[in-house]
Structures are given as structure tokens and as C-alpha cells.
Structure 1
Amino acid sequence: MARVNPGQFVRQVRQEMAKVTWPSRKETTISTVMVFVMVFLAALFFFVVDQILAWGVQLIFGLGG
């Protein structure tokens, strides 16, 4: 790989940064809300599965009340 001097490197970085398309505020907000919704649904799913497994273990081993 060829060595690039610092000035050339900075120019290349600026050229690449100009190609980046940043999300709008609306897109960022929607993505953030969707992440929170998916986290909530995953937490709910694992809570339900955990409760079912705990109930099954209590049923099998006769532990708890």
C-alpha cells in the first residue's frame, strides 16, 4: 500500500465525507422510536417466556408456593 502524505490524506477524507448522506431529524426520530418499541417488545417476550419456564419448573419440581 502506498504511503500518503498528511495533506493528501485530509483531502481524501474530506472527499469521502462529502459522499456521506446523513439522516434527517425525522428519520433519526423514527429510527429511535422503533428501537425503543423493539426493545420493549423483546423485554415483554422474554418476561413472558421466563414466567412460563418458572411456572414449568415449579410444576415439575414442586418448588415454591
Structure 2
Amino acid sequence: MAKTTPGQFVRQVRQELSKVTWPTRKETTISTVMVFIMVTLAALFFLIVDQLLAWGVQLVFGLGG
């Protein structure tokens, strides 16, 4: 494998960065909002499942109130 000099490496990195298509501010905002929505939905789902399992365990073992 051929060794590259630090200068060649920096040139290659700049060349690759010029090929990147960066998202617009609107795309970033929409993606961020969607992530927050999905995290909230997942948290609610797991909260409900946890409560149902806790209720089931209390029912089976007669623990709690």
C-alpha cells in the first residue's frame, strides 16, 4: 500500500468534502422535529408496556395494593 504525505492527505480530504451534499436548514429542522416525535412515541410505548407488565406481575403474584 502506497504511503501518502500529509499534504496529499489534506488535498484528498478537501476533494472528498467538496462532493458532500449538505442538508439545508429546512431539511435539518424537519429531521430534528421528526426525531423528537419518534423519541416521544417510543417513550410513551415503553411506558405503557412497562405499566402493563407491572400490573400483570402484581396480578399474578398479589404484590402491592
For 1:15 and 1:21, the matched residues in 2 are separated by: 13
How far apart are residue 17 of structure 1 and its match? 0.4
TM-score, length of structure 1 as denominator length: 0.96
State the Cα RMSD in Å.
Answer: 0.6
For 1:39 and 1:48, the matched residues in 2 are separated by: 14
TM-score, length of structure 2 as denominator length: 0.96
For 1:59 and 1:6, the matched residues in 2 are separated by: 67
Question: Which segments of structure 1 move beyond 6 Å, counting only runs of 4 or more?
Answer: none
Structure 1, gaps ≥5 residues long: none
Q: Which residue of 2 aligns with 1:26?
A: 26
Q: Aligned pairs, how many?
A: 65
Structure 2, gaps ≥5 residues long: none
How far apart are residue 16 of structure 1 and its match? 0.3
Q: Which residue of 2 aligns with 1:41?
A: 41
